[in-house]
Structure 1
Amino acid sequence: MPSTPHGYVRQESDIDIEEASDDDDSGSVYEGPSADFVDPAMVQRDGCCQRLCRCLCPRRKVKETGFRLVRADDRRTNRPIVIDEDGEMKFLRKVSNVVASTKYTIVSFVPMVFAQQFKFFFNFFFLVLAVTQSLPPLRVGPMFTYIGPLVFVLMCTMLKEASDDIKRWRRDKAVNSKKYTRVNTAIGDLEKVASADIKVGDVLQVLTNERVPADMILLRTEFGEQEGSKDGQTYIRTDQLDGEKDWKPRKAPALTQDLAGWRDLCGDVQICAKVEAPQMSIYKFLGRLSLRKLGEDSDVKSEALGLENTLWANTVVTHGPVYGLVVYTGVDSRTVMSYDDNASDDKTCLLDKQVDFCAKVCFAILIGLSFMLVLCRGLRGQWWIFLLRYIVLLSYIIPISLRVNLDMAKTLYASRIGNDSKIPGTVARNTAIVEDLGTVDYVLTDKTGTLTKNDMLFKKLRVPAGEYSSGTDTQQVSLMITRVLRRILAARPSPGTFGRSPGQRGQTEEESQGLELLTAMVTLALCHNVTPVETAGSDEWTLQAPSPDEAALVKYARECGIKLIRRDDDSIVIAIADTGSILECMNITGRPQLRYDIIECFPFSSDRKRMGVIVKEEISGQYVYLIKGADSVMIPRVAGHDSNNAFMEDVVDDYARHGLRTLVVALKRMTAESCEEFQAAYREAALDVSEQRGDKLTAIVDSYLETNLDLVCLTGVEDMLQDDVAPVIESLRVAKIKVWMLTGDKIDTAICIAISTALKSPDQPLLRLEASHVHSAIDALSDLREAGNAKSEGLSDTVVVIDGTVLAMVLSAGLYTSEFVELIKDAPAVVCCRCSPSQKSEVVRAIKKYDNGQRTLAIGDGGNDVGMIQAADVGVGIVGKEGMQASLAADFSIQEFRSLHRLLLWHGRNCYLQSARMSLFVIHRGLVIAVMQVIFSAMFYFIALPLFQGWLMIGYSTYYTTAPVFSLCLYTDLEDTVVYQYPELYAISRRGRQMSLKAFLGWVWKSIYQGSAIMVLTVILFGNELITSSLVAVAFTSLVISELLNVASEVHPNWHPLMIVAELLSIVIYVYSMFILRSYFDLDTIFSIGFLWKVAIITAVSWIPVHAWKQIRRCCCPPHHRKLLRAYQRSGGHRPERTRYVYHDPENDSVELLATTTTGESASE
């Protein structure tokens, strides 16, 4: 939307285009600025029932619609008023400015944590089990035996939640207690007020580098004449709001800035702001400021308000003091609402789903074993009581501690990623999905700032007379411009830089060409939002630009002789730059400066895809509208379509084939009368505070300014690739990850980038899907279908490039989306061109919906990538030059694209494999003891009594075995150098076989064997002896030692030092507990030879066969990573060329070619 005009003061007597005339039969009444000063007696007050509802439901949020009327005066007599869509007026509800990011209170902490935890079925299941132990018929042992694990899980969760909430509370307290300066409108003086006590209607003074405590309208600036505060301009930092680093200009309305001082804000004037209801968007704002003097029948003056008049909460004022009117507080502020809007949906990790599936299978096993014991005992008497007792006895099959172990592991992984010196600056913001880094099937990436550096380098300039390249032709361009400019400055009166059009009668070819270049350079130096900033202590200038494109154009204009000296809201000053000896040889002394007044400026927006500015040249009085934008929106607006269209399209296509970003630059010469006519219509529409204001302003700009434009030039800018982009993408493709590039560039530009980034290899076929309208888009989809049917393998070796029209057609209404995804899902790489931000997120959702089971990762660096990042299963944000918005909204934040290589192939693979191994081990730990309980009950006449009671059961799943099992999170099967050399390893691990049903059943059989061996051998070795503590001690000791040995066999030979420490610590704790738990362990028996040899035999029989079978499989049928490790070691740590690596897929019994490898032999040898 075009910006709101500044400085326009409307009198109440002005004619409004919406004002109803006396003979208007519609009966409509014009609501002018005077209506903003509403008598409070006319406002409807809430009734008793409404006030009672607010008291009973204080947190109930009612969506506010319409507008607010906020007065800058005593809040006790003039409360803010809300006007809803029906025109009904009510007083604004009280909204506190207290920052409350805590989740709990002292009273609600325990109930809310319990409610959150017991919504999980298995936590609730153990709670029911604990309750059943209070009933004598169902009691099978001490209650703490069954409630202990649940209490342990809850305590761990409560400690974590309490720690996090206390940190939030401390941060909130610091923010809420911070003191600010408020203008006391009753006495006309300043007073201190806490941030939490700020209300709507307050006028606040904010100092330099001070955080803005609430959403405000900037009223005036007072920070010294030398710093430019007389025009009401200041700057704010928004990095805590949208992540962008650049300072944003803000300007006070002329109505309040022109007052004598800040005391006049509460003196003889009344100020009222009519603003829109609270909104989520931080980039849009509608409002109107009205002012009238007291004590006389003065006219009400009004001025339109826009985004440039706002100070959002959590922004920082860089130049102060400034004064602002508070219009939104607390939950109504943009900061809170935009945070809620940008919050991504809860993402569930694939591993968590696999673990839930395994837990459900365990529950089925629990019920099945319980029914089997009941049937074996016989369905007689109160058999259902025995069924419940068996369920209680076998409840350790359910891995209640698994969730705690996984949460601790995720925290460890996040810390490990953040502390990795090889990818500095990487942050894991969402630890819940760390394992998903190891299961990615699709990588969807933005181009600009993600694959490229977003560091623009000007390459080519095309004017109608010819083409000029940066560097080689710069001196020639500068010389021609200076010659023409000398004649212009010498003429009296001067025609100005835009006064003479190239190609007029009487001009020589050289003069005409010089005028074209001068017009182009001056336009590039004027049409932008770039601010030159002088570096302290030197003559150097830096350019503060909203985008690198604009900075590149301004830099090139300087190289060619036109230097930007100063730019503010009112004017732009340029000068002839010092370009060697040119000034001297042209007999020009000094550096002539040219001043241009800024009449209106229309910033770039993703909707308009163009920006423009109306300037008035000081030396000639000439009015000119300068505009630049994307070729798709500019070409239709340039005059002389037939002759110019072909020329411009040819140039754009040529630049695109060279990978350049293109802009079309044009202008329109205006008269003073036409400019005034435009301003009158534009500013009248700007006073409209309805949602249609943006559309009205855009329509006026289109009709008055953006028709029959004169072509100035076309520019080509190169965006350099980031370091190591091509090797990273090549590794991702070898890892069988499909890479999609989503860009707003033309097809030819996108193809050029795809080739340079190794997205397309030289020998890969390319399929282009282009269309100019919907019908041809349908034909393009048919071509895609035919191309897939023509090959037996489909599009598995084809790079597909899709035009924006085709993409829009397949995404609209979902008519062709499923077929499109089905046809294109086999393509190893896809390039989507002319892709809008909304289409990026739609593409991600389409893949997730129609290619079931595939995990998506989206990576980008800008605010337009946030939707795509949050829609993907894994969102990765790059800290870009334009800000941190994508980084802050992502699940993971990295500094550059090449960090994705290590994040996925190393950390992602390890996190998934380690968590999968630990999860299955925890499940196995519960199954083993359940098998022993079943055999114990079966051997002793199906008795419903526990084999292990009390502290033994609690210790088994906590302090005896927790440390060794958790140490599996430290296990790595390969070094990172091997993983980098063989990205195929990622393709193997991400299939999820480690948590497949086959792997799970393998652990079930292992549990059945070990549990049976321990229990049966214990009973056999004790013969006809009665059940004694010695039997229990032998069985339990053998069980604990077997579990520790199982951990050792899993990690051998890749031991981590902490794993050894965990094993030894568990042994020490177990031995020490024997001296404490004397009711379970008879020390005389334990230290006897008979005890030791029984434990040794039982442990050997239960563990050695399992370990031996594992070693036999490793030797005869080694896993893929061991094959690769062997090949890597034989090749001396490198991959010689011209060899191919193949691996055998046991699931489909086929040999698949993964990539051309560089080992000296096949990895399967």
Structure 2
Amino acid sequence: LFLIELKYLHFWLKKHKRRKSKKESKTRIVHANILYDHTKGGDNPNRHYANNKIKTTKYTLLSFLPKNLFEQFHRFANVYFVFIALLNFVPVVNAFQPELALAPVVFILSVTAIKDLWEDYRRHRSDKEINHMDCLVYSRSEKQYVEKYWKELRVGDFIRLRCNEILPADVLLLSSSDPDRLCHIETATLDGETNLKQRQVVRSFIDLDCEFDPLKYCSVIECEKPNNDLNRFRGYIIHRSGRRDGLYKDNLLLRGCTIRNTEEAVGIVIYAGHETKAMLNNNGPRYKRSKLERQMNVDVFWCVIILLVMCLFSAIGHGLWMFQYGDKKPVFDVLSPEGTDISPVVSAIYLFLTMIIVFQVLIPISLFVSIEIVKICQVYFIHQDMELYDEETDSHLQCRALNITEDLGQMQYIFSDKTGTLTENKMVFRRCTVAGVEYSHDANARRLAMYQEMDSEEEDCTSHGGTLPRRDSVTSHQSGKVVLRSQSTKSHRRTGSRAEAKRASILSKHTAFSSPMEKDITPDPQLMDKVNECSSQMEFMRFHCQPLNQIPPDLCDIFDFFIALTICNTVVVSSPNQPRQKVDDCKGKRQRKILYKTQNYLNLYAADGLRTLCIAKKVLSKEEYASWLQRHLEAETAIQRREELLFESALRLETNLQLLGATGIEDRLQDGVPETIASLRKAGLQIWVLTGDKQETAINIAYACKLLDPEEEMITLNADSQVHPACTAAVSPHGLHSFSSLPSPSEFSQGPFLVHRLGLVIDGRTLAYALDKSLEDKFLAVARSCRSVLCCRSTPLQKSMVVKLVRNKLKVMTLAIGDGANDVSMIQVADVGVGISGQEGMQAVMASDFALPRFRYLQKLLLVHGHWCYSRLANMILYFFFKNAMFVALIFWYQFYCGFSGSAMVDQWYLIFFNLMFSAFPQLITGTLDKDVSAETLQELPQLYMNGQNSEEYKPYMFWMNMIDAFYQSLICFFIPYFAYVDSDVDLFTWGTPITTLALFTILLHLGIETKTWVSLVL
């Protein structure tokens, strides 16, 4: 019977899917495998989905050698040096012993291949260990859960999960031993967050009175195709009755997470193996090219040009030398393979190829390897800096990108989030207004602070697998869930209704979370008592009313936080003893819908630097609720455009709201933020703060952290019309009206800094207009002339657009720093992204290049370590070009005395292993440890950072100065032994060895002169 019903559902789904467009039909249908255990394998509709076996290795025994060589030959340097080594095997052009010339290239390729082989072997062992882990899978034949390897798991299998087990695949939660049908998971392996998340059993399985029986399951699941979005899961489940229930990310348990605080859970596998979200997010490290590396590549190209010019000059010289003999051939003439004489032109061509082999040292084969080694050492020493360790959070700086350390010393613009980056992100409830009456809450704030300290002590004593849930402080402007248990009073009906609404709204703020990943806090009865105690002094609570932990409205629907509206809705039934009317408590900041008195209080709160929040309600009739609910359920079960439909559903409730009041919440600045910003500004860095807060609050915080100076003139851009901001913006005294007198975009190249004592403040609506193609250049012209820029009410998309605009238009080095998921896009588009490991989870850290515990550590990271890394690498690269050019020039001068025959007075061992053995280690040491200025001086004089901003250590002319210096010093090293041995009968290498020795001594002496740090050894 179940199979017949299942086939009917399958037929209905196929018929329904044919009606969809091609785009909408890209979904996955999952059936239970136990229904097909006794049928042929070809009848199982899940057979086309990937199995759960993973394979992350790149090679096999047969494919390792060709595949690894193919990967290494993607590097132009490897191809070039292999070509030179093979060219040396051609008899008419070879310059050295062929086998010896091949040794350096083979050595470098072999070392890289061994490293890749070892890494792949480690991946193979890890894959084998994971694939052979055990899990409990339901067997139809045995009618119980049996142990199987992870690699044997398939989409559609039922699995039983126990506490502290790791999830083997992406599983839809169908049953839980928790009384509230919840399952607690730890997602540290996915997003780095150690706090527990809650996942909910699918809605239709919540009310099961008995244990879940897989044999009675006959539903069909339709969901989206596998994707790498950890914060999204869309789908619906169709039951035997035809009922459809929506599926959300709260119903999905992801592979790699760990079950905590839940004895047992049962689910069905939706995605397996390489189709799981964890595996799809395993893309390996991101690669960025630093500004210094881009400049270096240009100079490497110039080295190639110099090499070709020297070879061409030598070839022409050899041809002329041969031509002057005429028919009388020189004794050293080389014959053709047929034994005939070679013409001067052909001989010159052969010599051109020979000189490429002889002068190959000019292209530094070990430069790229040396740079990677130096960067790894620099990262190691940055990690060892204990001044970048935060004891309060027990966290240290993290370098997540190893190849852009020198960019830290060349930053020009810093884009910073405010909440959680500049501030503590620990919200303290300070003031509130109810029905136009303002109440003081200083005493209550002190009590709440005391309770928060008690909570923090409890959390310190509880491990991540403990039973105490994480309780975040009261917050605003964020999304959340409201779960209330209470009952209303019959006396004081009017006042009691107002009190209920107010108390429920106060309690609802406890469920507002600091990150989209932290929406799963369990209601805490102790919190109810705390709020009751703190609320005892409130005027509106002096009436006879029940405690908060006795108010039981029924939760109907919850809308997530919408960034476009900065609002969150919760639909509840306010009183079971009254006619069941639906109440919509709307948390938001709708400036047009608040009353005059509340608006004045909001302005006062914002002027004091408090974050503001408005609270309103709306009463729905049964008919209104039923009409709205029908459309809302359709939106919940949609797979395509679900977020848009839910957003439209929330908008239908946003009419005729009744204002209840507003609150003011304090978010204090982090320690050291004003001093850090002041120091960074002295270093020549332009600092922009991009925040979602309202303008008055953001301005107050900007003054507190010294982003804005009271002595500066402030330009405020606020657009009142969507038609054109330049026509209606209320700015004083400058603004968009002055755009016509500002520099044009073509003048941007004259320099990114035209800074005056001005501060710019712009709100989100005006910023949206300013980022339009027609106005972005003029907006940028205004912004770059200001010392500081403050963007208020900005969305995550606007943040990334601002960073991209400044980076691309001004051609400057940008750094973005933030702590939340809404800062990820900004962090990723900047040249250097910095994440703060604070209150809003680890998403910003996971997307960043560097992670800091606090904002104040940015000062030393940039001014000290950034300066050192840039100075060391810049000098090391220039020294590399110098020493190679000097050594090659010695052989070039000798060609004038050997008829440009391509011979060398240096032993071929010295020539081939010059870079690899004789001159490699000294520059590695100086590139890692040299300090041109002490750390104390760099922090006391931030102006020294401008040296890196202006690329003073590595300018284009410096390359040519070093090349000229190299050729000059090579002349001295060549002709001193030449004149010393003139008219003597010494052999070639007796004369050439002193030249080599003198050149090596000069090269090392040059490095010693350039070195700034010398350590005396005390024996």
Q: Identify whether the pair has TM-score above 0.5, normalized to the shorter chain.
A: yes
- 1:327 is aligned, of 270, 278, 287, to 270
Matched, 1:989 2:948: yes
Equivalent residue number for residue 501 of structure 2: 519
Q: Write the distance in 1 (CA, Å) between the matches of 2:318 and 2:491.
A: 103
- Deviation per residue, 1:929-979 (Å, 9 max, x gap): 111000111122222113323322233212222111111121001110000
- C-alpha contact (below 8 Å) 2:187/2:193 kept by paired residues: yes
Whole-Å separation in 2 of the counterparts to 1:152 and 1:566 = 68
TM-score scaled to structure 1, two decimals? 0.73
Deviation for aligned residue 1:566 = 7.5
Relative to 1, partners in 2 of residues 1:148 and 1:652: Cα closer, same or farther, differing over 3 Å? Answer: farther
Q: How far apart are 1:904 and its partner, in Å?
A: 0.7
Query: Which stretch has the larger CA shift, 366-375 or 716-725?
Result: 366-375
Which of 1034, 1044, 1060 is matched with 2:1004 structurally? 1044
Mapping for residues 149-548 of structure 1, pairs under 5 Å: 149-222=104-177, 229-259=178-208, 264-265=213-214, 267-292=215-240, 299-318=241-260, 319-338=262-281, 346-378=287-319, 380-382=344-346, 383-424=348-389, 425-471=396-442, 496=489, 500-501=493-494, 516=498, 519-526=501-508, 529=511
Using the TM superposition, give the Cα deviation of residue 415 of structure 1 relative to its aligned residue in structure 2, in angstroms.
Answer: 1.0
Instruction: For 1:920-1069, list aligned pairs within 5 A.
Output: 920-969=878-927, 970-1024=929-983, 1025-1052=985-1012, 1054-1056=1013-1015
Distance 1:258 1:1005 in 2: 83
The normalised TM-score by structure 2 is 0.83
> Identity, % of aligned pairs?
25
Output one character per residue of 1:654-675: Cα deviation in whole Å (capped at 9) or x when no partner: 3222222111101123455654
Counterparts of 1:459-858 in structure 2, within 5 Å, are: 459-471=430-442, 496=489, 500-501=493-494, 516=498, 519-526=501-508, 529=511, 565=525, 576-577=532-533, 593-617=550-574, 620-621=577-578, 623-631=581-589, 634-636=590-592, 638=593, 644-671=594-621, 674-675=624-625, 678-686=628-636, 688-703=637-652, 705-779=653-727, 780=729, 782-785=736-739, 788=742, 795-812=755-772, 814-852=773-811, 854-858=812-816
- Cα 1:437–1:181 change in 2 (3 A) is same
Cα distance in 1 for residues equivalent to 2:444 and 2:277:
49
Task: Provide the secondary structure at the position in 2 that maps to 1:613.
Answer: strand
Specify the SS of the correspondent of 2:525.
strand
In the alignment, the residues of structure 2 paired with residue 886 and residue 230 of structure 1 have an alpha-carbon distance, to the nearest angstrom, of 34
Structure 1 residue identity aligned to 2:377:
L
1 CA distance for matches of 2:272 and 2:854? 37
Helix, strand or coil at the partner of 1:241: helix
In structure 1, the partner of 2:20 is none
Whether the aligned pair in 2 keeps the contact of 1:64 and 1:277 (CA below 8 Å) is: no
1:853-872 equivalences under 5 Å are 854-872=812-830
SS at match of 2:786: coil
Which secondary structure does the structure 1 equivalent of 2:388 belong to? coil
2:454 corresponds to: none
User: Contact (CA 8 Å) 2:559, 2:650: kept in 1 or not?
Assistant: no
On the 8 A contact 1:937/1:944 being kept in 2, the answer is yes
TM-aligned CA deviation for residue 587 of structure 1? 10
- What is the aligned residue count? 927
Q: Distance in 2 between matches of 1:498 and 1:992?
A: 76
In structure 2, the CA distance between the partners of 1:592 and 1:258, relative to structure 1 (3 Å rule), is closer
> Equivalent of 2:66, from 111, 119, 133?
111
Alpha-carbon RMSD = 3.9
More deviation, 406-415/590-599: 590-599
Match of 1:1141 in 2: none
Structure 2 stretches lacking a partner, 5+ long = 18-22, 321-343, 390-395, 449-485, 730-734
Question: In the superposition, relative to structure 1, how do residues 1035 and 145 fare at CA in structure 2: closer, same or farther (>3 Å)?
Answer: farther
Paired with 1:767 and 1:80, the residues of 2 have a C-alpha distance of: 71
The answer as to 2:112 corresponding to 1:141 is no
State whether structure 2 residue 31 is matched by structure 1 residue 70.
yes
Alpha-carbon separation, structure 2, partners of 1:882 and 1:906 = 28
- The answer (yes or no) to whether the contact 1:73–1:270 under 8 Å persists in 2 is no
Question: Aligned in 2, Cα 1:1016/1:795: closer, same or farther, shift over 3 Å?
Answer: closer
Paired residue type of 1:462: T
- 1:124 to 2:79 alignment: yes
**SS of structure 2 residue aligned to 1:577:** helix
- Deviation at residue 828 of structure 1 after TM alignment: 2.6
- In 1, Cα distance between the equivalents of 2:14 and 2:661? 62
Q: CA deviation at 1:218?
A: 0.5
Aligned mates of 2:555, 2:294 — CA distance in 1: 59
* Superposition deviation, residue 434 in structure 1: 1.1
Distance 1:416 1:832 in 2: 36
- Where does structure 1 lack aligned partners over 5 or more consecutive residues? 1-11, 13-31, 45-61, 83-88, 223-228, 293-298, 478-492, 503-513, 531-543, 555-562, 639-643, 1062-1165
Any idea what the Cα deviations from partners look like across 1:837-877, whole Å, max 9, x if unmatched?
Answer: 1111111111121112x111111111111111111111111
The CA distance in 2 between the partners of 1:238 and 1:64, in whole Å, is 31
Q: Counterpart of 1:534?
A: none
- Rounded Cα–Cα distance in structure 1 between residues aligned with 2:1016 and 2:129: 43
Residues 204 and 323 of structure 1 are in contact (CA less than 8 Å); yes or no, is this contact kept in structure 2?
A: yes
8 Å contact from structure 2 (residues 176, 266) kept in 1: yes
Tell me how far apart the structure 2 counterparts of residues 191 and 612 of structure 1 sit (CA, whole Å): 45
SS at match of 1:220: strand
1:79-125 per-position Cα deviation (integer Å, ceiling 9, x unaligned): 9999xxxxxx9866341323344444444444344333323333222
**Structure 1 residue runs of 4+, over 6 Å off?**
39-44, 77-82, 473-477, 547-552, 572-575, 578-592, 789-793
Shift in alpha-carbon separation, 1:1057–1:303, aligned structure 2, 3 A: farther
Inter-partner Cα distance in structure 2 for 1:348 and 1:976 = 27
Tell me if structure 1 keeps the 8 A contact 2:409–2:945: yes
Change (3 A) 1:711 1:936: same
Q: Is the 8 A contact 1:386 1:944 kept in 2?
A: yes
Q: Is the 8 A contact 1:389 1:944 kept in 2?
A: yes
1:497 to partner: Cα distance: 8.7
CA deviation string 1:104-159 (max 9, x = no partner)? 44444443443333233332221111111111001011124433332343344334
Change (3 A) 1:825 1:161: farther
Q: Label 1:257 to 1:665 Cα distance change in 2 as closer, same or farther (>3 A).
A: closer
- Give 2:259's aligned amino acid: V
Secondary structure of the corresponding residue to residue 992 of structure 1: coil
SS in structure 1 at match of 2:905: coil
**CA positional deviation for 1:834:** 1.3
Q: Against the structure 1 CA distance between its residues 79 and 993, is the aligned structure 2 distance closer, same or farther, given a 3 Å change threshold?
A: farther
> 1:221 Cα deviation (Å)?
0.8
- How far apart are the structure 1 equivalents of 2:903 and 2:446? 96
For the residue of structure 2 that corresponds to 1:440, the secondary structure is: coil
Summarize the Cα distance change of 1:420–1:36 in structure 2 as closer, same or farther, 3 Å threshold: farther
CA pair 96-63 structure 1, distance change in 2 beyond 3 A: farther
One-letter amino acid of the structure 1 residue matched with residue 265 of structure 2 = V
